[in-house]
Chains A and B, each alone.
Chain A
């Protein structure tokens, strides 16, 4: 199957702690709609995918993100990302 160069690439999403529990998945591969440029755009789209996502992101300011295992902000561009993670504020140490 040929995929046009303009087609949005598939993206691996990983979830941790209560974000994982609310969504009901530890990871998934998705193809966000074109125009999904930033982490915030991705969250906006994820929230349309069901109750679990809505619940996980009900307070968007709390949920943290990482792009390819590096912390990212809502405004960070996701172009070229292979793996994006969403998780609560960290409580290690």
Chain B
């Protein structure tokens, strides 16, 4: 199983990605997908601008995906992350994990998202609803804690 990693400016179709992943996989019994959307933060934001490190973004998500594949018995794994200007309601990130049984798919998708947030080289900048350019979004300690919980007991 080779994880599929894509970094792209354009939107993605969740249904089409799930269909492509499960096509021909008769042993797949569980598919878990997570889609991250851009929020407007109660009307404060017009958009988020996502800057990324081309090359490293693909490489780092690939490394995290390979870790997930080594840790759970997966039959398919997809990670798609967008960059550029993304407006509220639009999709930013997609993770899909497929396995024979649900536990591995749930856990692998959760793991991939936690690590993607703290290790994938992307930075969000706010564009405010009043037309001004906002600041860079600050990293949350919660995200670091969420990623660290996967280290316990391993």
Which segment of A1-9, A45-53, A83-91 sits at the interface?
Answer: A83-91
Rounded to whole Å, the gap between the CB of A46 and the closest CB of chain B is 18
CA distance A66 to B52 in the complex (A): 13
With contacts A69-B55, A71-B60 taken as known, whether A93 is within 8 angstroms of B136 at the C-beta atoms is no
Contact A92 B53 (CB under 8 A): no
Number of interface residues of A (CB under 8 A): 16
Q: How many residues of B contact A (CB 8 A)?
A: 28
Instruction: Name which of A66, A70, A85, A89 has the most chain B CB atoms within 10 A of its CB.
Output: A89
Verify B53–A18 contact, CB threshold 8 A.
no
The smallest C-beta distance from A56 to any residue of chain B, in angstroms, reads: 13
Hey, which chain B residues are within 8 Å of A88, CB to CB? 123, 136, 139
Contacts of B122 in A (CB 8 A): 90-93
Partner of A92, one of B55, B59, B117, B125: B117
Give the dominant DSSP class at B's interface: mixed
Chain B residues with CB below 8 A from A69, complex form: 53, 55-56, 59-60
Whether A17 is near chain B, meaning CB under 8 Å from some CB there, is yes
Given contacts A89-B139, A90-B139, A93-B113, contact A14 B53 (CB under 8 A): yes
Instruction: Report B-chain residues with C-beta under 8 Å of the C-beta of A90.
Output: 117-123, 139
Q: Once bound together, how far apart are the Cα atoms of A85 and B123, in whole Å?
A: 14
Q: Are B138 and A16 in contact (CB under 8 A)?
A: no
B51 and A17 within 8 A (CB): yes
Report Cα–Cα, A14/B92, bound state, in Å: 24
Are B53 and A70 interface neighbours, CB within 8 A? no
* B119 cross-chain contacts in A, Cβ below 8 A: 71, 90
Which residue from B60, B81, B139 sits with its C-beta under 8 Å from A91?
B139
Task: Give the residues in chain B near A66, CB-CB below 8 Å.
Answer: 53, 56, 121
State whether B56 touches A85 (Cβ < 8 A).
yes
A17-B136, A69-B56 are contacts. A87–B36 as well, Cβ < 8 Å? Answer: no
Nearest CB of A to B112, in Å = 10
Q: Are A93 and B116 in touch, CB under 8 angstroms?
A: yes
Among all A-B residue pairs, the 7 with the closest Cβ atoms: A92-B122, A89-B139, A93-B117, A17-B123, A69-B56, A91-B137, A92-B120
